[in-house]
Amino acid sequence: IKSFLPHSCLMNNVLCSVITGCGVPAIKPQTIGSRIVNGQNAISGSWPWQVSLQLPNSFHFCGGSLINENWVLTAAHCAVLYTVCFLLVIYVITHPLYNRATFNNDIALLKLSAPVTFTPRISPVCLAPSNSSILPGTRCFTTGWGQTATTSHPEILQQTGVPIISPAVCRQIWGQNRITDAMICAGASGSSSCQGDSGGPLVCEISGVWTLVGSVSWETSTCDTRFPAVYARISQLRSWIDMTIASN
């Protein structure tokens, strides 16, 4: 999937989001009938926290979420891919317990060189609290510019609705030791995140506010839509996020 930051987003100091607090898009997303592999085009500007991480040649390689005017949240396995990246990013902070072999704690924070100016198309997403729990079966949404069923580089941000899968069911599918408390699963319902979507958001609408509950981490190598994708669980990692932002 690809998101609401234009291709030049981070490169040209133009992030995309909306203005009133967090998690309330000025441009309402279309959430009915939404199907990334097997997703659909998102309404421009309706996921205003979506970020595109790009190489200096403007090649999109990962997604991210704007969480306030100074910080973008993405996957650790994305952040470690580059050394000299976007001019807008001062530095990258990867979770100290990130495991490259298991993808546990697959999260990183990008500090921007200057605060983002919020607009109707640029605004932050809310973060799931540490004590939050999402009921299995809840229909949430993931967005991005990653590989789809027909192209590896869609020009328009893609979105899809995916149900939350319980940890017990996810462990039955992926293995008891593979799914940790720092992971949340969603999908297995005909659509899936895929390569290029990593680091992007999994959001659920809670009391009218879109809340970041996961960050795209891993799935089958073929993005098989019969299997759930796995996301870094924001509630489990929230204390590290808050501590890192407060101390930097």
Given 123, 198, 217, 235, which residue is catalytic? 198
Q: Tell me the pLDDT band of 151, cut-offs 50, 70 and 90.
A: low
Q: Of all residues in the chain, what percent carry a pLDDT higher than 70?
A: 85
pLDDT score of 20: 43
pLDDT score of 36: 57
Q: Tell me the pLDDT band of 80, cut-offs 50, 70 and 90.
A: low
pLDDT tens digits along 2-38: 333 333 333 332 333 333 489 888 888 866 554 456 7
Q: How far apart are CA 100 and CA 218, in angstroms?
A: 12
pLDDT: which is higher, 146 or 203: 203
Phi-psi region of 196 (alpha: psi -120 to 50; beta: other; left: phi over 0): left
Q: How far apart are CA 186 and CA 244, in angstroms?
A: 27
Q: Tell me the pLDDT band of 161, cut-offs 50, 70 and 90.
A: very high
Residues paired with 63 in a beta bridge:
52
Instruction: For the domain covering 40-247, report its CATH number.
Output: 2.40.10.10
Q: Tell me the pLDDT band of 85, cut-offs 50, 70 and 90.
A: very low
Averaged pLDDT for residues 68-96: 79
Averaged pLDDT for residues 136-157: 85
Q: Of all residues in the chain, what percent carry a pLDDT higher than 90?
A: 56
Is pLDDT at 49 greater than 60 in this prediction? yes
Given 77, 192, 217, 235, which residue is catalytic? 77
Residue indicated by tokens 């930097």: 248
| 198 among known catalytic residues | yes
Given 46, 52, 65, 106, which residue is catalytic? 106
- What are phi and psi for residue 236, nearest 5 degrees? -70, -25
pLDDT tens digits along 123-132: 999 999 999 9
